[in-house]
Structure 1
């Protein structure tokens, strides 16, 4: 087997395992149920901790990932998941929960190392195939964990607390339906498989062949010269800036909504209804995969009209989110959320494909990292404004979703203005050429 394929399979397995977290489908029910935290404690104090810590730790991880050559950060990703689920299982205090969600922030913050490892270890000719493998594995992990969570809870083979043992791994779980014990290694196996990844001898900036023998101080200077060049090339391109900004805005709104959607499900649930959060995640992820795949085959020959497409997408997202905020039917809420997610997957994949055509190849990881940070920063701002106690409006769940929908309308307005401005400028230029 070729070396690049071995690396791809190992990365894919890590991607599958890190996303195989059945407890994620019912984390809200777990916290306000068996853990006995109040809704306000979860929504106002616990969830914001995860969002803010992700923002801070993402900056730290982004700065040292290339310097540490990826693998150590991927191991930290696995370990942070082990610590997080251990605390989620055994803590009984709000402070313990906040610490656990701080490690959740570390988990998401260090994902940048996983997504950029291929750029430092795999030859350029294999980038597209390895990216395809890892993306498929990640989506397979999310889909299968959602299905498993839904089946186990629906047939009452497990409760929402026991799902956390599957996410953690390495602990014996007694099925209510079976007499034998099974072992489910998820975060533990993620860490172990990360240790088996080949070390990266050269990275893009700090450990490249050109600077490998230089003293550390000169390595840093040389690296920042290359980073500055990549940054300047990307962010002096107006198309990269406006498309990347939209990507950040869209992901921020979607992420903020995703953090609180289970609280809305719980609000809409009647006494005689079961929750189908796991099934929603499975369908959402599968349709997201299909939408991402479709976006990869869309040939955008109407690049100058893309701004209006972004405006239209934000308008539709805003309508869907406002509808989600007002519905009283949980199944309608599920359906609207899945539609919104599918649209986001399609448009963000399409936009990042367009951005990739505008930048130099080795700068893709840097540019994606910057836009990811942009998105997380806006997620933190949205959270502080709409839901955090003491710093924002402290809105209830429905009120938060009204703001998220209005936020999408605001993005729509911005890109309508950009599209009209571009049209007027281009028409003026055309008239001058005729003269």
Structure 2
């Protein structure tokens, strides 16, 4: 029990600190207006520069940093990676606030990409410091604080700008203060006593300590750490291949994972560039409601995820078909968001697409988790995130950074909507097949039971 409760407060202390960290790290009021901040009088970048040279940095480097972060998070025992995330947020928004020119904006997004990749440490840290009996409770608290922080930041930005006339520069300053509080909080987090890496190698270190007593303590520690780290990474890759083979051999898991990756790719691509679309629909709009839209979309998405927990449905039969149909609604919302000249219709479509996405992401999460053992959760969800980032990087390279295409922002959103249509068709076809197969199997079982009845029962 001691290894799960490294501080005197038990599970409460680490959970509270991590919730405070999550709230303030996600409360970033400038984000809903970041495009306007870059293209406005503060930074004087063009919409083309932001689209093709600034935002792609976040997509590409988030993918680059994800793998090393996944490999070292347990090795470093979580807290250092969370501190790195807080430091990266502070660096990013300090550059957003004080930097000038396209290079400063690119470095800011580079630092932000490190923070995004480090999310895996934030969402897995708590499991190393609390008892398994508290997992469900602390997970809901941590994710709730994360979601609430983002919604409060977006709504606060809208209120301050629309009602208080606060400048975007002040919103950037408030964001810097918020992430700085998060960084300070991360330093207060208790360090886990053990990790998988240390537990696996503790006996090896003890045995070698007797044999190499003549070495100095510091030299011995560095040598053992290097050798065991190399073995740890080697074993991790071997286990990764074997576990992937076992997890993805299930067709049901495979299709939910396909949606988890493709849905993430499509939605985050839309979310990354929607501000540029709104700027195109309503240029020089200093009373934009981007913050309110983002906040309402987040809260409605949260309500939708809660509603999923109370839905009574035979998910093994209807789950894939439901994914396909609702993904088609996302595609329709993105198409309409792009085709309309009315900013309010575009806002409404974005709220709808965000709400449906968060609901479907929740469905996929618990459907995948139901079929896996606990030790494979991080592996499968990590691979889904990685594949989503790979697809997003490919989509960005083709749609945005291919010079020969030179697509407008409206043409880009037509492609994003078409992407959702393709995903919808795949899941719908699979869903129809699953429903028909299950119905046929159920009918066959009923017929078999009927033929196996005793002869006398037919006369009753």
SS in 1 for 2:273: helix
Match 1:212 to one of 188, 199, 202? 202
Q: Could you say if the C-alpha distance between residues 50 and 220 of structure 1 is closer, same or farther in structure 2, counting changes exceeding 3 Å?
A: closer
Match 2:248 to one of 222, 235, 257? 235
The TM-score normalised by the length of structure 1 is 0.90
Aligned CA RMSD, in angstroms, stands at 2.1
Q: Does 1:16 align with 2:23?
A: yes
The residue number in structure 2 matching 1:335 is 348
State the distance in 2 between where 1:272 and 1:56 align: 36
SS in 2 for 1:22: coil
SS in 2 for 1:297: coil
Between the two proteins, the alignment pairs up a number of residues equal to 416
The residue number in structure 1 matching 2:188 is 196
User: Once the 2 structures are TM-superposed, how far is the Cα of residue 424 of structure 1 from its aligned partner?
Assistant: 5.6
Gaps of 5+ in 2: 1-7, 206-227, 449-460
The residue number in structure 2 matching 1:144 is 152
Give runs of aligned pairs for residues 317-332 of structure 1, distance below 5 A: 317-332=330-345
- Conserved? CA contact 2:43–2:101, under 8 Å: no
Give runs of aligned pairs for residues 270-285 of structure 1, distance below 5 A: 274-285=287-298
The residue number in structure 2 matching 1:367 is 380
State the distance in 1 between where 2:246 and 2:274 align: 38
The residue number in structure 1 matching 2:425 is 413
- Conserved? CA contact 2:265–2:389, under 8 Å: yes
Match 1:286 to one of 294, 299, 309? 299
State the distance in 1 between where 2:258 and 2:194 align: 31
The residue number in structure 2 matching 1:176 is none
Q: Does 1:118 align with 2:126?
A: yes
State the distance in 1 between where 2:86 and 2:284 align: 38
Q: Deviations over 1:371-391 (max 9, x none)?
A: 11111111111111111243x
User: Once the 2 structures are TM-superposed, how far is the Cα of residue 271 of structure 1 from its aligned partner?
Assistant: 5.6
Q: Could you say if the C-alpha distance between residues 302 and 363 of structure 1 is closer, same or farther in structure 2, counting changes exceeding 3 Å?
A: closer
User: Once the 2 structures are TM-superposed, how far is the Cα of residue 211 of structure 1 from its aligned partner?
Assistant: 4.1
Q: Could you say if the C-alpha distance between residues 295 and 39 of structure 1 is closer, same or farther in structure 2, counting changes exceeding 3 Å?
A: same
State the distance in 2 between where 1:361 and 1:272 align: 49
- Conserved? CA contact 1:146–1:278, under 8 Å: yes
Give runs of aligned pairs for residues 287-306 of structure 1, distance below 5 A: 287-306=300-319
Give runs of aligned pairs for residues 74-93 of structure 1, distance below 5 A: 74-93=82-101
Q: Deviations over 1:17-60 (max 9, x none)?
A: 11011010110110000100011110111000111011111122
State the distance in 1 between where 2:371 and 2:324 align: 21
Q: Could you say if the C-alpha distance between residues 222 and 144 of structure 1 is closer, same or farther in structure 2, counting changes exceeding 3 Å?
A: same
